[in-house]
Structure 1
Amino acid sequence: MLTLSMNESAAAALHPLRPAAALPAAELHDQPQISLADQVTLLRLGMAVADVVCGLVRTSVPGAPIRCIVSANDTNGVFRFHRIRSGERWGVHDLDRYRSDMVVTVEDQPLRAGNVRERG
């Protein structure tokens, strides 16, 4: 079952989802700067990569739970993924604690008996 979570700033920026755009380079104080629109583009690209990574894991290691974490701010974008293991916690689970970053997590975990949600 695929689960998508995001902090408040990512939710606001991604709703409604806008078409992707090119990422022009800009600099401020000798440091690269990524515009808000381009940060959203990075999040969308990261979500697409997460979908592919989850699919590859599902195919090669059936039943393996995986978490992908995508984040972007005004200087960089980051994509991480790892296998979810019982008793291990990665990152801050209250995504709104990331004040300067937009963060999206994508989790793919096998459904357990009695844990099926119907779409409607």
Structure 2
Amino acid sequence: MHAQLVIFDGPQSPELLAAAELADSQRIRPLVESHPQIRDDIVARYDLRQPDGGRAMLTVTGSEATLDAMTELIMTSNLVPGEDPALLPGASRAERYTVAEAFVAETAGAR
């Protein structure tokens, strides 16, 4: 398994947070979910948030090629109506890892 951690440092203004939410809900998630090869290889996705608007997106996949394909898909997609490129500054940094060990506890309410 492979993991990609994409970090958006805080603080983030309400406008940047709204733009990120629009991009994620209206463009990025639908793109990923409509691509069977990418969607079916995703093991887990976590959207981690801090009080100051900082955010980290962790995606775990079966192969590094899926992370490459997902990144290419997102970076070459057209913006949806209402998205303002000025409010999409990009990630502070992105890191990739090979998953050496995984433990997932079954919990109520997990998605």
TM-score, normalised to structure 2, is 0.33
Identify, as 1 or 2, the structure richer in helix: 2
Q: Which has the higher contact order (CA 8 A, sep 6+)?
A: 2
Q: Which has the larger radius of gyration?
A: 1
TM-score, normalised to structure 1, is 0.31
